Amino acid sequence: MGCNKRAQVTVFIILGVVILSSATLFFYLSSGLSAIETGADLGLESNQDAVQLFVEKCLADTSYDALSQVLANGGYYHIDEELIDYANFLEFSHSDDSGDNSNYPYYFFNGVNSQPDIEDIAKQVELAVVELFSICVDDFSAFDDQGLIFEQSEPIVNVKFVSGGYTVDLDYYFVLNSESLSEEYSHFEVFIGFDFLNKYEQLELFLEGQEEDPEYFSIGKLSSMFVSNSDYFDFEPVGEAGSDLLLNLYYYQENEDDIVYTFGLSYDWDDLGSFNSQLDDAEVPELNESLYVSLTFESEWNINEVGVYTLDVESNAEEFGDVVYSINPSSLDIDQDSGLITFDTNDYTNGVYSYFIMANNSNNVSVEGALVINLNANNGNLPMIEEFSNSSFSIGDNISFAVSVSNEDPVNYFYAAATSVFEIDKQSGEFSFIATEDLVGKSQVYFTVENDFGLSWYLWNFEVQE
């Protein structure tokens, strides 16, 4: 489909790294170190160390993999028929050769935020850790050749999402027996520096905003969640009207595959099926490659002044039959015959709006495309945000700014910024941070300033050079 695209968003964040205990970190950094090599022919004490490291590595690896698998399923480890019957799930047909269908939970359905509780996601991660950890340990088969005997219980896992990452506590009692001694083990703990709590809370704010404006897929608000140069999202419309979306959130991980968070969104948009149903009994000519069609329009529309604006949408589908144009959500006016869109700034507040434009001709040839409207109009009462004087920095620079407005009337302003790198003073608009190596490259920060009349926004583009 025309809207299946990658939406790269260049707002930055300091990503967490995996932080483990010193013994586990040593395990990761020691080239070629393995449980068998460490314990072999070195006596019981070294075998104890090897077993400790072996279990901690299994716990660290599976704790990371568990969250990755759960998020790829929309917050669930296993999705079975009983669960699908109980909750709302989006069925998605993969476009690869497998032809498989997958089910993903709706996070927004019937105008309601249906995001799972973070505690429920933690329980799903616990289930995944228990299963994956047991596979990794494999009854300590790695130590069979060393004559070690293990007596073990079932693992019990507790996952807790905290600021900066998540902790995984493992109660796992087992006894290591050898010819001379026996050693008991009972508790292990790791910390994984993937800050899911922050990402969950940002997504929660986005979904709460969707409840306030359920007809719009708020791409602008979604973009504000992505505060790293390397994080991004994409989405794919599902169904004829495209009113269901499969949304993928990609979180970059250094030296690892991206962690992908996938779920469905459902909007109450007009169904195009009513138009297509008129053609059910008609004789539709066989189509060939010459009937490939396209839409032509300005896909990103920037409106910075108050007024009424129009946008022309054209389609070569007209060459193959009479065309009917439509748009979802239908709150935006489009002439179904000419494709002319009319936008009145007085009907909207400043922000970013997303629409799907469709053209369908009498031969049942259809095409669609995405339109994003960036509205930041000011009638003189809204905050007039001044541009920053500097946008290029070097590593180590102490960056300090204050978002300022040029309005003459002294009123109270409320300042906000979509970033996790610094905190902005909500009353003064002041902020500061240090340009570190993590911020090298081009980035963006989305600022908003609000007064009693409404809000304005400003997108700051800057670059940190090595």
CATH number at residue 423: 2.60.40.10
**Whether residues 58 and 161 fall in one domain:** yes
Are 405 and 383 in contact by the 8 Å Cβ rule? The answer is: yes
**Where a domain ends, among 194, 225, 254?**
194
The reported pLDDT for the residue numbered 25 is: 28
Which strand (E) or helix (H) includes residue 358? strand 351-361
For residue 403, tell me if it sits in a domain.
yes
Determine how β-strand 259-266 pairs with β-strand 244-251.
antiparallel
**Whether residues 123 and 23 fall in one domain:** yes
**Whether residues 177 and 40 fall in one domain:** yes
Expressed as residue numbers, the domain containing 371 is 270-377
Q: Which residues fall within 8 angstroms of residue 177, CB to CB, at 6 or more apart?
A: 148, 149, 150, 151
**Whether residues 34 and 141 fall in one domain:** yes
The reported pLDDT for the residue numbered 220 is: 65
The reported pLDDT for the residue numbered 51 is: 79
**Whether residues 24 and 139 fall in one domain:** yes
**Whether residues 331 and 355 fall in one domain:** yes
For residue 8, tell me if it sits in a domain.
no
**Whether residues 415 and 327 fall in one domain:** no
Residue in 327, 354, 335, 339 with CA at minimum distance from that of residue 297: 339
For residue 305, tell me if it sits in a domain.
yes
How many domains are contained in the chain? 3
**Whether residues 38 and 183 fall in one domain:** yes
Which strand (E) or helix (H) includes residue 329? none
The reported pLDDT for the residue numbered 224 is: 63
**Whether residues 356 and 418 fall in one domain:** no
Determine how β-strand 182-192 pairs with β-strand 232-238.
unpaired
> Model-level pTM?
0.51
**Where a domain ends, among 177, 194, 211?**
194
For residue 107, tell me if it sits in a domain.
no
For residue 103, tell me if it sits in a domain.
no
* Pairwise CA distance, residues 197 & 209, whole Å: 18
**Whether residues 407 and 354 fall in one domain:** no
**Whether residues 56 and 149 fall in one domain:** yes
**Which CATH number do you get for residue 345?**
2.60.40.60
The reported pLDDT for the residue numbered 32 is: 27
CB atoms within 10 A of CB 307: 10
CA 392 vs. chain centroid, Å, equals: 28
Q: What is the pLDDT along the chain (466 residues), one digit of tens a residue?
A: 333 322 322 222 222 222 222 232 223 222 223 333 333 333 334 566 777 888 888 999 999 999 999 999 899 987 766 555 555 677 765 554 444 567 888 898 888 898 989 999 999 999 999 999 989 888 877 777 666 777 778 889 999 999 889 999 999 888 877 776 677 888 889 899 898 998 999 899 889 888 887 877 777 677 666 654 567 777 777 765 557 888 889 888 877 888 999 998 887 655 433 323 333 333 333 433 333 456 777 778 899 999 999 998 887 665 656 788 888 777 888 998 888 999 999 888 888 787 878 787 766 666 777 788 889 999 888 999 998 877 899 999 999 999 999 887 767 899 988 777 888 998 899 999 999 988 888 888 888 899 988 889 888 888 999 8
For residue 202, tell me if it sits in a domain.
no
H helix intervals, 93-252: 118-137, 196-212, 219-223
**Where a domain ends, among 194, 210, 238?**
194
